[in-house]
Amino acid sequence: MRLADLREAMARRPSGAVAGGVPFQIERSELNIQLPFSRPFWPIANNIALLYSGLLNHLREFGVTPQGIRPDAADGSLGAFNVNFWLLQFGVLARIRLESIELNAPTFNVDVDRLERAFLGLDRALREAERDLAYANYAVTVGMHGHIGGLEAKDFLARFASNVPQGLGTPVGSGTVFYFESQSPATLVVLTADLSAVVAGGVYVKLHTVFDGSMSPENLRRSAEKSLEQGIAALGLEVSAGQ
């Protein structure tokens, strides 16, 4: 994710969130969105030309071309077969299967406004191929690697994992995962705080939120940003403004 976009989202922090938290300097982030269909998306098997037509009509401005769309037989099964393509100058990989869609940005450094428009364009393309399209849910995962201002990673994480097992050696760090039932449109929130395997001496924060499938696709960005804001604030963090 572009750090400027994340700072902007945090500036819209909801009421009740922690203000003046510990600075969190994000150095790398990743995004994954998974949308399982309520019913199998049969056009991928019986009318794939209609799917291709919709993808080209609605996503060409985001970099999707006939040369960029790839059908992949994978292990040869119907469930593994997928249609995949890159969006936004190879920033986001989209993969359509019989049972789900997945959008993955391994280094989340794309313009969020354009990503939102591309996502809605993809939704329109799918609905042109399948009139009764519906999602069972929306699962959004944002991972962030960075440094905690004024604190070593292990000292920050010790706030959440104070009862360290003994007799195994000298503790060098800890990590924890919290699970929450949430309020609509979210149904589940999973918050992870751990040592980063990417940024030396850094912290890894991951927020996984599942939203109810009855939510409109147009509301996904706003709901995901709100969940992200709340997750960061719940750890007592504040995205550093000096990045």
Q: What pLDDT does 242 receive?
A: 43
Q: What is the pLDDT of residues 182-215, one digit of tens each?
A: 888 999 999 999 999 999 999 999 999 999 999 9
165 versus 75: which is more confidently predicted? 75
DSSP, residue by residue, 116-164: HHHHHHHHHHHHHH-TT--BSEEEEEEEEEEEETTS-HHHHHTTT--S-
CA–chain centroid gap for 111, Å, is 14
Cβ-based neighbour number of residue 62 at 10 Å: 22
Per-residue pLDDT, 45: 94
Burial class (CB in 10 A: 0-12, 13-18, 19+), 182: middle
- Residues 6 and 239: their CA atoms lie apart, in Å, by 8
pLDDT tens for 122-167 read 999 999 999 999 999 999 999 999 999 989 999 999 989 877 888 8
pTM for the predicted model, two decimal places: 0.89
